[in-house]
Amino acid sequence: MLSIDLSGRRALVAGVADDGGFGFYIAKSLAEAGATVCVATWPPALNIFRNMLERGKMDESRKLSNGALLEFERIYPLDAAFDTLADAPADIRENKRYKDLGDFSVQGLTDRLAADFGSPAFDILVHSLANGPEVKKPLLETSRAGYLAAVSVSAYSLVGMLQRLGPLMRKGGSVLSLTYMASEKVIPGYGGGMSSAKAALESDTRTLAFEAGRKWGIRVNTISAGPYASRAASAIGIIEKMVQYCARNAPLPEALSADEVGHTAAFLASPLGSGITGSTVYVDKGYHAMGMEVDALTSRDS
C-alpha cells in the first residue's frame, strides 16, 4: 500500500504566524507524514505567535490524528524582505519588535539552521510568504514602492532563500511555494502588484527547478490554491466574496479547505512526488478550468 512517509525528514516552513493559514496546515500535514517541522515567523508577529502556543490557544488546531500535538522543532524570526541584516534600515533594526531577535534576515536564518543542525540541515522548504502593502489599490493606482514591495517579499524572497538555503538541503529535497490564479487571469480587487508578484513566482519556479535541480538535485514546485479566508487574506477586503464565488462556480461546488492544500504539499514533498518539478499544481476544486460563470448560464436558461 502506498503511503506518504516523511519519517527522518526535516521541514522548514517560512510564513507561519498563526493557525489559520496555509502555512500552518502544510506544517501540520508534513508532521502527520512523519517530518519534524521548523517554522520561520515575521518578527512583528513572533511574540504573539509564541504566546498563543504557550497559553494553549492553538492546542485544538495542533491536534494530530494520533492524539499528539504538532510541535515545532525551532521557531526562527524571519523578515524575508532583507537578504542580510545590513540590508535592513536602522529604524527596522532598532524597532522594539526586532532589536532583541538577533539576525532576522534570510542569511541570519541560514546561519541559525546551520548552527542548529549542521549541513545538510533539512529536506523540505516551504515558502508561505506574501505581502502587498497596497493590495486594495488597482494596479493603475499602485505606487512604484508598493509594487516593488509586493514583488520583493512575495516572489524574490523565494530566490533569495533558495540561494542561501539550497546548499543546506539534502539531495532529493523539495521546495514549495504558494501562488494564486491572479498570476494568469484578472481578479478585480487583488491589486497592488500582487498579481505581478504571483506571475513572477510561477516563472521563477520553472527556472529555479532547472537550476536547483542541476545544482543540488532538489525539486521546486508551487501550489496554486483557491481563495481561502485566512487572517492574512482578509487584507484583500473581498476574500469572503471570492470564496463564495469560486465555490458556486467550480466543478466541485464547495469551499476549499486548508487541509487539502496541506495534503497536496505533503505529497509533493514526499518520494511519491519525485518526478514532479517546475510545476504549478492547482488545488482549487477545479475552478481554474472554468471559462464561464455558472450563475450566468443558469440565468440565461431561466
What CA–CA distance (Å, rounded) separates 278 from 206? 4
What CA–CA distance (Å, rounded) separates 51 from 57? 8
Of the pLDDT bands very low, low, confident and very high (cuts 50, 70, 90), residue 295 is confident
From the list 98, 190, 228, 287, the catalytic residue is: 190
Q: What is the pLDDT of residues 142-167, one digit of tens each?
A: 999 999 999 999 999 999 999 999 99
- 3-state SS class at 302: coil
Residue 229 pLDDT: 72
- Number of other CB atoms surrounding residue 118 within 10 Å: 9
180 flagged as catalytic: yes
What residue spans of the chain are helical by DSSP H?
22-32, 43-54, 90-93, 106-117, 144-151, 157-165, 194-216, 239-249, 258-269, 294-301
From the list 25, 76, 180, 287, the catalytic residue is: 180
What CA–CA distance (Å, rounded) separates 3 from 272? 8
Share of the chain above pLDDT 90, in %: 88
Q: Which CATH superfamily is domain 10-301 in?
A: NAD(P)-binding Rossmann-like Domain (3.40.50.720)
Residue 222 pLDDT: 98
Name the DSSP class of 6: -
- What dihedral do alpha carbons 131, 136, 138, 142 form, nearest 10°? -50
Q: Which of 129, 100, 159 is nearest to 42 (CA)?
A: 129
What CA–CA distance (Å, rounded) separates 121 from 148? 32
25 flagged as catalytic: no
Residue 232 pLDDT: 66
Average pLDDT in the chain: 94
- Number of other CB atoms surrounding residue 214 within 10 Å: 8
Q: C-alpha angle 22/251/226, rounded to 5°?
A: 20
Q: What is the pLDDT of residues 22-79, one digit of tens each?
A: 999 999 999 999 999 999 999 999 999 999 999 999 999 999 999 999 999 999 999 9
What CA–CA distance (Å, rounded) separates 85 from 102? 9
Q: What is the pLDDT of residues 168-207, one digit of tens each?
A: 999 999 999 999 999 999 999 899 999 999 999 999 999 9
Question: How many angstroms separate the Cα of 51 from the Cα of each of 27, 129, 137?
Answer: 19, 21, 33
How large is the greatest C-alpha to C-alpha distance in the chain, in angstroms?
A: 66
What CA–CA distance (Å, rounded) separates 269 from 263? 10
Residue 237 pLDDT: 65
Name the DSSP class of 116: H
pLDDT for residue 302 is more than 50 = no
For the residues 216-232, what does the mean pLDDT come to?
Answer: 89
The residue ranking higher by pLDDT, 295 or 197, is 197
Q: What is the pLDDT of residues 96-150, one digit of tens each?
A: 999 999 999 999 999 999 999 999 999 999 999 999 999 999 999 999 999 999 9
